[in-house]
Amino acid sequence: MKHIDLPRRNLLKGMGAGSLALAAAGCGSTDPTVAESGAHYVMLFDQSKCVGCGRCKEACNKANHLPEGVARLTLERQSDREPGAVCPTCGKTECNCQRKYVRVSCQQCQNAPCVMVCPTGAAYRDPKTGIVTMDADKCAGCKYCIAACPYKVRYINEETDVADNCDFCLHSKLAKGELPGCVSQCKFKALVFGDANDPDSYVSKLLAVKNTSRIKPHLGTEPSLHYIAITKPEV
Ligand code: SF4
Ligand code: SF4
Ligand code: SF4
């Protein structure tokens, strides 16, 4: 499996820079990353296939019974053009040509600052699967985890006052032997999910041959979300 730290100028935009200092200064707890199952569940987002339809987000909200106004994932629209610049395809300054989107969601860090700072154990790593998830009953609503997340993808569910993150649908889908809601509902096959430690899995095979990148790998968080970015041909 390749872990390539490519300079994705726009891919990273919007996933605000955070500091791991809080994590380091947190409870002093560790975050063991080896799952009892031996699996390492990962997701691959292929920007070249995503059309920004939002079905993934709808499926997520439905599968995980999220209230209006919150989301475990968002789609960020990106453009290589400077604001007001003329589109090289249609010649207009406002158009839908060359649209591209990036999935913004929990990166399922293997060294997860949110888990390390949580004082109650509410943000935890499921020992069997290795997936970062929540025990809602333990959450004190202190937001330490939100402050510690360098990807700014955690939020408080205001209906329950509990912090939340994309947990690959651990409780809502994987527990029933189903794929994550966003993956199964993407008609354009922009999302692939599976065990990167299984050499026969489709996701392993894709990671072996595709040019993929991860967001802010230099932070040492070891994200489990991989991206295939749209690249322009060399001229
Ligand atoms: S990206 Fe996910 S696992 Fe990583 S720190 Fe943020 S909420 Fe935790
Ligand atoms: S908000 Fe909840 S999950 Fe986050 S650190 Fe506080 S107790 Fe833990
Ligand atoms: S894996 Fe599940 S929780 Fe995560 S974004 Fe997809 S549907 Fe939502």
Q: Is the CB of 151 under 6 A from ligand 2?
A: no
Protein residues whose CB sits closer than 6 Å to any atom of ligand 1? 106-109, 112-114, 132, 149, 151, 153-154, 165, 221
Residue length, the chain? 235
Task: Encode pLDDT of 24-42 as tens digits.
Answer: 333 445 665 678 889 999 9
pLDDT for residue 101 is more than 90? yes
Token representation of residue 49: 């296939």
pLDDT-based confidence at 99, cuts 50/70/90?
confident
Task: Tell me the ligand closest to 73's alpha carbon.
Answer: 3
pLDDT at 33: 67
β pairing state of 225-228 and 41-46: parallel
Q: Is the CB of 122 under 6 A from ligand 2?
A: yes
Q: How far is the CA of 164 from the centre of ligand 2 (A)?
A: 9
Query: Of all atoms in ligand 2, which is nearest to the CA of residue 143?
Result: 1
Tell which phi-psi region holds residue 134, choosing left (phi > 0), alpha (psi between -120 and 50) or beta: beta
Task: Encode pLDDT of 108-154 as tens digits.
Answer: 999 999 999 999 999 999 999 999 999 999 999 999 999 999 999 99
Which residues, 6+ apart, have CB-to-CB distance to 27 below 8 Å?
116, 117, 118, 119
pLDDT-based confidence at 90, cuts 50/70/90?
confident
pLDDT at 18: 35
Protein residues whose CB sits closer than 6 Å to any atom of ligand 3? 59-60, 63-64, 72-73, 105, 166-169, 180-182
Whole-number mean pLDDT of the chain? Answer: 85
Going by the DSSP 8-state scheme, the letter that residue 219 receives in this structure is G
Grouping H, G, I as helix, E, B as strand and the rest as coil, residue 116 is helix
Grouping H, G, I as helix, E, B as strand and the rest as coil, residue 147 is helix
Q: What is the mean pLDDT of residues 208-225?
A: 96
Backbone angles phi, psi at 26, to 5 degrees: -75, -130
Domains of the chain: 21-228 (3.30.70.20)
Say how far apart CA 46 and CA 189 lie, in whole Å: 8
β pairing state of 155-157 and 162-164: antiparallel
Which residues, 6+ apart, have CB-to-CB distance to 41 below 8 Å?
108, 129, 130, 131, 168, 193, 194, 195, 196, 224
